[in-house]
Amino acid sequence: MVSMKESGLHISLAAERLGTLWGIPITNTLVAEWTVMILLMVTAFFVGRNPRLIPGKVQNFFELLLEFVLNYMEQIFGSRALAIRFFPLVVTIFIFVACANLFDFLPFVGSVGFTTTGGGFIPLFRPVNTDLNVTLALAIISVLSIEISGIVVVGFFKYASKFINFSSPLNFVVGIIELVSELSRFISFSFRLFGNIFAGEVLLAVAGYFLPYVLPVPIMMFETFVGIVQGAVFAMLTLFFIKLAIVEPHSAGGHKHEPEAAH
């Protein structure tokens, strides 16, 4: 968390602990994360509770957006059925990451909190994706979804042959490289999102400390754009890696085969 004290800037990589519940530590990023999820669930309830045959403006907007994303995913997968299957995962990742990043700019985030006995300040809400635990959890969900999708669509043994191949020394080395590449996604997914959002928070704090009346507003506008883009990047990478995972390995003829649409 980045905050300002009388002596200067205070930067904390770790989320601040507010207390414990049944032995589980409750941090300010966890409080912010659950607040975002509750807001999203309430919004989804009110938007989707009374769908009409002749849609209103709000319903029409969401239907157009849904159809646009589905059509795009259909072009990527080459199958409407596969697009519908993976639509909830990809869109949920985008909505959560983007909304969590936008939540950071609400006025009470970082400003409402508790004063400690030592005179310090612990905010009740901390930007969600400045906690590496959150971004790592998202990365685990994404990577596991990618690997499970490849196993389910292609088959366990065919999918494993991408990484374990004893047909030749070259294929064995290529398989090991592919395996390392798959495992490195845990790091690339989590640190990309964490690094971009945390760096933005530091930049805003520094700008607000040295030039409070000039720099914060344009930087906040830029960081708002970055927050949405980071959600899109996380979702798009998940989409494209799933596409690669469900493509069968090279056959004897040297060609890749696309999976049949799962109905």
Tens digit of each residue's pLDDT (9 = 90 or more) over 214-246? 667 777 788 888 889 999 999 999 999 999 888
Please give the average per-residue pLDDT across 22-38, as a whole number. Answer: 89
- Output phi, psi for 103, to 5 deg: -60, -30
**Band of pLDDT at residue 252, cut at 50, 70 and 90:** very low
- Helix 132-154 vs helix 216-245: crossing angle, to nearest 10: 20
Please give the average per-residue pLDDT across 41-59, as a whole number. Answer: 77
Q: How many CA atoms lie within 13 A of 209 on its CB side?
A: 16
Tokens of 187: 């790091």
Check residue 259 and report its DSSP letter.
P
Per-residue pLDDT tens over the stretch 63-74: 888 889 999 999
Average pLDDT, the chain: 81
Predicted local distance difference test score (pLDDT) of residue 195:
85
Distances (CA, A) of 178 to 144, 173, 239: 16, 9, 18
Give the largest Cα separation in the chain, rounded. 72
Residue 23 has pLDDT above 90, yes or no: no
What is the Cα–Cα distance from 138 to 43, expressed in whole angstroms?
22
Q: What spatial distance separates the first Cα and last Cα of the chain, rounded to whole Å?
A: 47
Tokens of 96: 């959560």
Predicted local distance difference test score (pLDDT) of residue 108:
81
Check residue 84 and report its DSSP letter.
H
Kindly calculate the radius of gyration of the chain based on its CA atoms and give it in whole angstroms: 22
pTM, full prediction: 0.82
Which residue matches tokens 């400690």? 116
What is the Cα–Cα distance from 235 to 100, expressed in whole angstroms?
14
Q: Select from 62, 115, 99, 91 the least CA-distant residue to 228.
A: 99
Predicted local distance difference test score (pLDDT) of residue 239:
93
Distance from chain centroid for Cα 31: 18
Please give the average per-residue pLDDT across 78-104, as a whole number. Answer: 91
Predicted local distance difference test score (pLDDT) of residue 254:
42
